[in-house]
Structure 1
């Protein structure tokens, strides 16, 4: 297999799903699933025949061993699957929430997952890549925050397209006051942004503005391409003249499927978007492809198991 031309950076962790439908405090049994947005994304890209490197850090514990086994079985290269002998792997409880699609309780403090170090990925690797993606969870605390921003900065210098998927859940951040400044710093380093209006409300002048105005404002902060997911309303995308595939605008409806579980759908969408753009698809074709990847992922429980192949996506769109 040829060396990957993309790298995904961020957390691989364990998602714990209740075996019964009740509030998390009352659940007695859980089922374990490999998860973490960047890990989901890397596996999704592999299923789409655009296998990337995954740079992550695992604990030297049963959870870490399981994640390493799953990722390698899925075909993700192990070059940057680092193991920390002194720390444990993070995990997340995933439960039902009457006010949202899901609720999450993160256990990540002092974990190997958040102990990623700057300059782990050498410059000579970056110069051979076309694309680098980093996720927002890793920006919540040090040293992972510095590691991600350093990677994005060096990837830009190496000529890579840099994409970013933020996560501004305040319960993830030890110091929520850092959310706004950190998001702005990350956006300045990003070429492609995948988000929704809620996740970046802290940096928008008017989060309730029309979707095209939200996208335009975000392109003034740094990214030349903005992908705004809107759930059942589909996806709006905008690219400026600085984008290799632009200028362009796309407003694509959601792909209708029988949804069972939305875990990982956003990560699958991002994998589809990166794959489409790496393949040279137009912005509109990329969004249609990515919408289909995300939709198919909702048809089974879990984040990785239902990730579709390229053939399945093309069949859905046919």
Structure 2
């Protein structure tokens, strides 16, 4: 396995309900490791592209559990920071009848909001091919400054930088920052965007036909855009500046038909699939197909990290498709 990728952002506890329905009606939950960047990091490890992962947990039982999960996944502990002054973040998940999910976060001043600028030095970034960050850490200081600092220095070092807005309106309410303005600011600083129509709508970006939307986002800064559409698949668009295409192009994948059990983490699985494929030298079409398969397999089991497939499982799934 290689360590060509650095993922940065939150890891937290997802409490997954034992039955579908609103949180007020749920009696019991199962504890699972979660957090979008953490899911991406573990997903990459499962796909044999084990990244470095920079995150921060509390010096508490939940933090101990998460560090154990990350260790079991094969992630190096160099950038797994422990904060003795803040608690580990928590999220309670509710599941709809079609396995769609909503979150209630408990992470006010949690450890993951306290990432510190400069933690990843320039020498490490000079040896890193790809850096991935998410939008959640942009809602709180000092993690916001730390994330933007990492993005800027990674670009300066020549790394490809990818970004997932992961819009969570609850986390931005009452903050000093606007999600819409933040998205516009960071799009000018990243190479690859992975987003959903809901992410864009939350930022006030009009969405129409998916291919046209993806192409329009290229004008905002990134040279490659992946737009995921749930059960309807995904689209991608890239300019001639993208290293995986020789000219401006779009790609479409209609997705795979599965019986979903839990869609938690499916978007993160898609992101892991995209990064793994492109780091391995795939073109845009192959990366899109591979990422859709990774996401589809993930929805067939409960949990986010626990459902992330191996490369062999993805290959077997694709081989069974008509």
On whether the aligned pair clears a TM of 0.5, the verdict is yes
Deviations 1:25-79 (A, max 9, x none): 2333221001111111111100100000110000000000000001001101111
Of 21-30 and 190-199, deviating more is 21-30
Structure 1 unmatched runs, 5+: none
After TM superposition, the structure 1 = structure 2 runs for residues 32-181 of structure 1, keeping only pairs within 5 Å, are 32-97=31-96, 101-173=100-172, 174-175=174-175, 178-181=178-181
Of 248-257 and 6-15, deviating more is 248-257
Deviation at 1:217, TM superposition (A): 1.6
Q: Which residue of 1 aligns with 2:298?
A: 297
Q: Which residue of 2 aligns with 1:265?
A: 266
Deviations 1:151-207 (A, max 9, x none): 000000000000000023221113386111111111111100000122022556532
Matched, 1:187 2:194: no
Q: Tell me if the contact between 2:88 and 2:111 (Cα under 8 Å) persists in the aligned partners.
A: yes
Q: Tell me if the contact between 1:96 and 1:102 (Cα under 8 Å) persists in the aligned partners.
A: yes
SS across alignment from 2:37: helix
Q: How many residues align?
A: 316
Structure 2 unmatched runs, 5+: none
SS across alignment from 1:118: coil
SS across alignment from 2:64: helix
Closer/same/farther in 2, CA of residues 105 and 289 from structure 1, 3 Å limit: same
Q: Tell me if the contact between 2:95 and 2:262 (Cα under 8 Å) persists in the aligned partners.
A: no
Deviations 1:69-125 (A, max 9, x none): 010011011110000011100000001347981111001101111111111111100
Q: Which residue of 2 aligns with 1:277?
A: 278
Q: Tell me if the contact between 1:138 and 1:148 (Cα under 8 Å) persists in the aligned partners.
A: yes
Closer/same/farther in 2, CA of residues 216 and 63 from structure 1, 3 Å limit: same
SS across alignment from 1:199: helix
Measured on the aligned residues, the alpha-carbon RMSD in Å equals 1.6
Distance 1:53 1:112 in 2: 19
Closer/same/farther in 2, CA of residues 203 and 62 from structure 1, 3 Å limit: closer
Q: Which residue of 2 aligns with 1:244?
A: 243
Matched, 1:206 2:214: no
The normalised TM-score by structure 1 is 0.95
Closer/same/farther in 2, CA of residues 259 and 28 from structure 1, 3 Å limit: closer
Q: Which residue of 2 aligns with 1:13?
A: 12
Q: Tell me if the contact between 2:164 and 2:194 (Cα under 8 Å) persists in the aligned partners.
A: yes
